[in-house]
A = this chain, B = another copy of it.
Amino acid sequence: MTGEQRTATKVAVIGLGAMGSGMAASLARAAFSVRGFDRRPEAMARLEEGGVTGAASAAEACAQADIVVLVVVNADQTEAALFGDDGVLGATKRGAVIVSSATMAPERARALATAVEGAGRLYLDAPISGGAARAAQGALTILVSGSRQAQSLAAPALDAMGAKIYDLGEEAGVAAAFKMVNQLLAGVHIAVACEAIVFAKKLGLDIAKVIEVVSSSAGNSWMFENRMPHVLEGDYRPRSAVNIFTKDLGIIADMSRSEKFPTPMASQALQMFLMTAAQGMGEEDDASVARLYADIAGVELPAAKLQVPADDKR
């Protein structure tokens, strides 16, 4: 696709949180014509920095769009954005591609694909991974499944947002399933990293040294290496929040029952995130599970204080 054609391609981004705002900016940087919408005024306020044009509603953002990227929180919000009053589907022209990036159960992705395709639009199951920093750089990992036509039309936009694009076949729901397997692992790895680091502190170890040694040993995980510096620095500002994992491990719990497949490790991790959320830390960084362990066991972590009232949503 030439630069001239790219300039003409219109993309709407619905959902301008930590991920969506970076994805919209990456698309604008790649010379797409990008309109963005978020129901939250504070998210809209950040738009202008990224060269993205704001819209007054999802329908207005989608009116001329060739591609709509949906980056809301979950399947329910995706469904509401698509099919609600003044929704995406009614506003979008026939043949447009709906790129659905929220993490959700595979059966929800399949149902959305059926409804969208039944209405004459294309659907791409396209969950994302990599965090806000990589979203802003256009360097996400994007897991993709859906029809060849949808993949082909969306490819330049996916390339603008992602560094690694995995083609997982033509069936919507497959990419969603890959993402859920990844989240199962990620959630357990965060919970056990927090358990291990506070246990190390309880044993009197130098936790900076523990992080150094484990990071180059067989006990390492991507999450251990990424999250434990937050504990070391006592910095629990939400790069990714506890509530993301009560949600994602909650989906795993639902899938576990519907598939009749036991997931004891994920189930235990979900309980740890729920306990952390119950202590008022749901909107804080997911490494806050360490503060739960520290509070329970009377261990002092660097600069960490369990002083968030349950009703103070930071």
Contact = CB atoms under 8 A, between A and B. Distances in A.
A12 interface: no
A281 interface: no
A187 to B, nearest CB: 9
A262 B219 contact: no
A210 B178 contact: yes
Contact of A205 (B131, B178, B189, B209): B178
Could you say which interface size class chain A belongs to? Answer: 35 or more
A213 interface: yes
A265 B191 contact: yes
B214 A218 contact: no
Number of copies: 2
A184 B199 contact: yes
Interface in A192-219: 192-193, 195-196, 198-200, 202-205, 209-210, 213-214, 216-219
A185 B213 CA distance: 12
Contact of A265 (B203, B222, B269): B269
Interface string A166-193: 1010000010011011111110110111
Contacts of A45: none
A260 B297 contact: yes
Nearest to A296: B262
B271 A218 contact: no
13 contacts: A106-B203, A143-B213, A166-B209, A174-B205, A178-B200, A181-B210, A188-B192, A189-B192, A195-B265, A195-B266, A264-B271, A264-B272, A265-B268
A217 B184 contact: no
A250 to B, nearest CB: 15
A203 B148 CA distance: 22
Contact of A221 (B166, B189, B200, B210): B189
A259 to B, nearest CB: 6
